[in-house]
Amino acid sequence: MQVWTDDGQRVYLSHPHARLFERAQRGIATVRSGSEDWRVFSVEQRGHIFQAAQPLNVRRTIAWEAATWVLLPVLAAIPLFGLFIWVAVGRGLNPLRAIASAVQTRSPDLLEPIVEERTPTEIIPLVGAINRLLQRLANALSAQRRFVADAAHELRTPRTALQLQAQLAEGARTEAERVTAFAALHESLKREAHLVEQLLALARQEPDSTTRPVEQVDLDALARLLIEEKLPLAEAKRIDLGMVRSERATVHGDGNALRIMLRNLIDNAIRYTPEGGRVDVAVAREAACVILEVSDTGPGIPNAERERVFDRFYRPPGNDVPTGSGLGLAIVKTVVEKHDGTVVLTEPSDHSGLLVRVSLPAE
């Protein structure tokens, strides 16, 4: 401590032998005296200047000791906190371990949902996501088994027919018999190739198959392209194939799937329309929907059969077309449902036959 008068005379010094500074600025300041730094507080009262000073190393020592006494309990508590956190987190993860064990021990055929009872609220969304994944896997496996069973069943008959026709060709005695046998064999090969192509198309359009990129598809341009593609087939049967209504209509969807759907509709119409008949294609925009219609002058489908013809491999009774696979309309329905649309079978208003009306959400 030091006390000064206004004229600069020191009248009090608490440590007479200490090497202290002679003067200091008022307020709080850090000054150097000799080899030490001091923290000084100066205030003026009643004509005297009072100064209180303390070496900075003493202040640092006091601060370190205070910090040590504060930190020691914290450092001592860290292991206890760690043990508590380890136990709490371990107990909190027990439900996850139970779910992981339940999933790991399941057989590949067991795709039942995980029970959500006694499940902590925090992991219910995870359990729900796993259950939805299991449901999608179950649907995909079911579709795969159904497809394999259908393919095995439907390929058995043409395979047997091919073997018999090959045997007939081998055993032909005359050139005429051999030509006839090979012609029948060639037709059977075409039918089987068409069946395999339709099976692959159906497998690619299953709802749980790999999702394809969504693009803008101009149905009007697509219809014109497919009509041009199928003109030789129609002309071979003297069928009038063309567009009766054409409006620009764009939808969001899988372009390849929509192409397969429209190709199947036109193929079916040409296949079931007798020689000299007519197949009309129309594309129009109605409100928020795009309407695609394919009509023909064939025998049509009775009302009682119009729902069943969408089933795989189903062909209406009395059908005398030998090249059909029974998959065309099944593929059409799968593609339409994949695009959130509807498909309806009815009769044309101006002639007999069949009208297929497809409605898809417009862009």
Residue 175: alpha-carbon gap to chain centroid: 59
- Rounded Cα distance, 171 and 164, in Å: 11
**Is residue 112 domain-resident?**
no
For the stretch 125-172, pLDDT in tens is: 888 888 888 888 887 777 677 766 666 655 665 666 667 767 777 777
Label residue 105 by pLDDT band (50, 70, 90).
confident
Distance CA 6, CA 175 (A): 142
Range of 3-17, 273-287, 324-338 with top mean pLDDT: 273-287
Residue 38 to residue 23: CA distance in whole angstroms: 12
- The reported pLDDT for the residue numbered 214 is 77
Domain assignment of residue 158, given as a range: 122-204
The H-assigned helical ranges of the chain are 56-104, 124-170, 175-204, 219-236, 255-272, 328-338
* Span 30-63, pLDDT tens digits: 887 777 788 888 888 888 888 888 888 888 888 8
In a domain, 115, yes or no: no
66-75, 215-224, 277-286: least confident range? 66-75
Residue 283 has pLDDT above 90, yes or no: yes
Per the structure, the count of domains in the chain is: 3
Does 169 share its domain with 92? no
Distance, CA of 234 to CA of 142 (rounded, Å): 38
- pLDDT of 29 above 60: yes
**Which residue, 148, 178, 204, sits at the end of a domain?**
204
338 located within any domain: yes
If asked whether residues 242 and 355 sit together in one domain, one would say yes
Q: Which of 83-97, 217-231, 248-262 has the highest average model confidence (pLDDT)?
A: 217-231
- Among 233, 148, 141, smallest CA distance to 190 is for 233
Please identify, among 173, 204, 235, the residue that sits at the C-terminal boundary of a domain: 204
**Chain mean pLDDT for the chain:** 80
Query: Computed over its alpha carbons, how large is the radius of gyration of the chain?
Result: 45
Token output for 56: 């900075």
- Distance in angstroms (rounded) separating the CA atoms of residues 13 and 1: 6
Instruction: List the structure tokens of 157.
Output: 């008959």
Provide mean pLDDT across the span 305-322: 70
Angle among Cα 156, 161, 163 to the nearest 5 degrees reads: 95
CB 323 within 8 A of CB 198: no
